[in-house]
Amino acid sequence: PLSVPPVQLLTVCSVFQFKPILLGTADPRSEMASYRRVTNSQKCVRAGGKHNDLEDVGRDLTHHTFFEMLGNWSFGDYFKEEACRMAWSLLTEHYGIPADRLYVSYFAGDAASGLPADEETRQIWLDIGVPPRRLLPFGLKENFWEMGDSGPCGPCTEIHYDHIGGRDAATLVVFQSVHVTREVDQSLLLLPQFSVDTGMGLERLVNILQGKRSNYDTDLFTPLLHAIHQISRVRPYSGRTGAADVGKVDMAYRVVADHIRTLSVCIADGIHPGMSGAELVLRRILRRAVRFCVEVLQTPQGALASLVPTEVVIGTLMFFPQVTDIINENEAHFLSSLQQGSRLILRTLNSVDYKHGVFPASVAWSLHRDLGFPLDLVDLMLEERGVQVDRQELDRLITETPVMLDVLSLAELQRLGVPHTDDGLKYQYRLEQGRYVFPACHATV
Ligand code: ATP
């Protein structure tokens, strides 16, 4: 009975389907209204809009475009204290994770918006036995959870796992205590019942429980990395990261392993690569994957889709035969553009137009507009060659081009000075005579 409201681009966590319960607006006759304690495993894609982890994927060892969020919820049932105690006991007693590897963060308050520090949560953690030096206060951005400009919100507290004993910590569990809602005029109202939303990334948990250095060294990914090696003409995966490895073999393995999972679950759930909204996000992911396959891993055409039937993609995720057909068709579509584009980049770098590490915007623009390269892929390909695009000129070209449909990232919107909200859907824009038109919210700026 649960479905994602149509305003949501892609599911980034499980809160959306439960919004009516949080707000107390669920139909009292519905099954949903009777929920008190819920657990779920939610497919999440964070590759566009407000939650966009695409740029981190492949560069680090903990972010994926698709991951499984293990959620548990209290709707007017247990609150902060029980949530913290149950989670601590699950991690340290049942899973046996050493407590001295765990750090906890809580909301430090925000004077500007008049929000007090979450002292209650701090005290709960101290009572549980977390030493003060591993209990860290953070501000609005890190530890105050909001769904959007308005709606349910509240302070959150997070448990981080330190991989190397030197604060190399990745967030493992997040608890949101949802007891207030922000009105459109920004005032805060107490909700009819207090709730808790707890989310933990499966891939990061498996990483810790299997004692690995990286999510990619767990059995969620190793069979896939092995399968990629079989179809490639390069050395096996060796786990290197860092600036010097951007765009190189190990990053390519991670990107392709990540992206094929995302492509498979999205296509199986009915989203096909396309030209707007979630479909455009998928098109970007597919083109990024094809490019890493062909140019870095030196795989033959069709290799990407051949990964779908691997044990991991079929075994742990959903699979439908048409997934491979859709990936193959889209790959074939992009391959000749990819060859032309790569040649164009090389030719430009060897030509007189190219000076001092600044790549001409007109060429970058033509890669995007004429050959269908996602702009983030153009940036990445140039970064790999140690050059940057003439950003100012490229922004001018983007602004002046008459019609275009794309999804801008928050960073791009900020750079262009476009007023924006935190709702991912509104980033989708069309340019008409130099003005941005956001169809979803009927706004023009
Ligand atoms: P981070 O700061 O590490 O990106 P986050 O604060 O964005 O994480 P939440 O939005 O609170 O994380 O999501 C809850 C949990 O989901 C995280 O604690 C983490 O275990 C997992 N998670 C979040 N983003 C990703 C991702 N891109 N890939 C894999 N797991 C993720």
**Helix, strand or coil for residue 379?**
helix
Q: Is residue 10 part of a domain?
A: no
Tell me: do 288 and 205 sit in the same domain.
Answer: no
What mean pLDDT is reported for the chain?
A: 84
Tell me: do 89 and 205 sit in the same domain.
Answer: yes
Q: Is residue 372 part of a domain?
A: no
CA of 97 to the centre of ligand 1 (A): 19
E strand residue ranges, 66-148? 66-75, 102-107, 135-138, 144-146
What residues have CB less than 8 Å from 355, skipping those under 6 apart?
Answer: none
CB 250 within 8 A of CB 238: yes
Structure tokens at 183: 């009105």
Look at residue 5 in the predicted model and tell me its pLDDT: 45
Spatial separation of the C-alpha atoms in residues 110 and 158, rounded to whole Å = 18
Q: Is residue 182 part of a domain?
A: yes
Tell me: do 205 and 236 sit in the same domain.
Answer: no
Instruction: Give the residue whose CA is nearest to atom 23 of ligand 1.
Output: 201
Look at residue 312 in the predicted model and tell me its pLDDT: 56
Q: CB 27: neighbour CB atoms within 10 A?
A: 9
Of 178, 209, 240, at which residue does a domain stop? Answer: 209
CA of 63 to the centre of ligand 1 (A): 7
Quote the domain boundaries for residue 285. Answer: 221-353
Q: Is residue 376 part of a domain?
A: no
Give how many domains the chain has, as a whole number: 3
Q: Which of 11, 51, 57, 171 to mutate to test the pocket of ligand 1 (most atoms within 8 A of CB)?
A: 171
Of 209, 231, 258, at which residue does a domain stop? Answer: 209
Q: How far is CA 12 from the centre of its chain?
A: 7
Of 329, 353, 377, at which residue does a domain stop? Answer: 353
Handedness of CA 178, 70, 276, 408 (dihedral sign): positive
CATH classification of the domain holding 160: 3.30.930.10
Structure tokens at 330: 């889209």
CA of 338 to the centre of ligand 1 (A): 32
DSSP string, 259-301: HHHHHHHHHHTT--S-SSHHHHHHHHHHHHHHHIIIIIS-PPT
Which tens digit of pLDDT belongs to each residue from 23-37? 888 888 888 888 999
C-alpha R_g of the chain? 23
CA of 171 to the centre of ligand 1 (A): 6
Low-confidence ranges of the chain (pLDDT < 50): 1-6, 402-405, 424-426
Look at residue 146 in the predicted model and tell me its pLDDT: 82
Tell me: do 87 and 134 sit in the same domain.
Answer: yes
Look at residue 80 in the predicted model and tell me its pLDDT: 92
ipTM at complex level: 0.97
Structure tokens at 401: 């081009």
Look at residue 244 in the predicted model and tell me its pLDDT: 86
Q: Is residue 368 part of a domain?
A: no
Spatial separation of the C-alpha atoms in residues 224 and 231, rounded to whole Å = 11
Angstrom CA distances, 241 to 58, 213, 326, stand at 8, 12, 31
Q: Is residue 379 part of a domain?
A: no
Ligand 1 lining (C-beta closer than 6 Å): 46, 53, 63-64, 67, 69, 170-174, 199-201, 203-204
Q: Is residue 373 part of a domain?
A: no
CA of 9 to the centre of ligand 1 (A): 18
Spatial separation of the C-alpha atoms in residues 161 and 208, rounded to whole Å = 8
Tell me: do 177 and 320 sit in the same domain.
Answer: no
Tell me: do 58 and 155 sit in the same domain.
Answer: yes
Spatial separation of the C-alpha atoms in residues 155 and 174, rounded to whole Å = 11
Instruction: Give the residue whose CA is nearest to atom 12 of ligand 1.
Output: 171
DSSP string, 319-365: --THHHHHHHHHHHHHHHHHHHHHHHHHHHHTSTT-BTTEE-HHHHH
CA of 294 to the centre of ligand 1 (A): 30
Tell me: do 193 and 226 sit in the same domain.
Answer: no
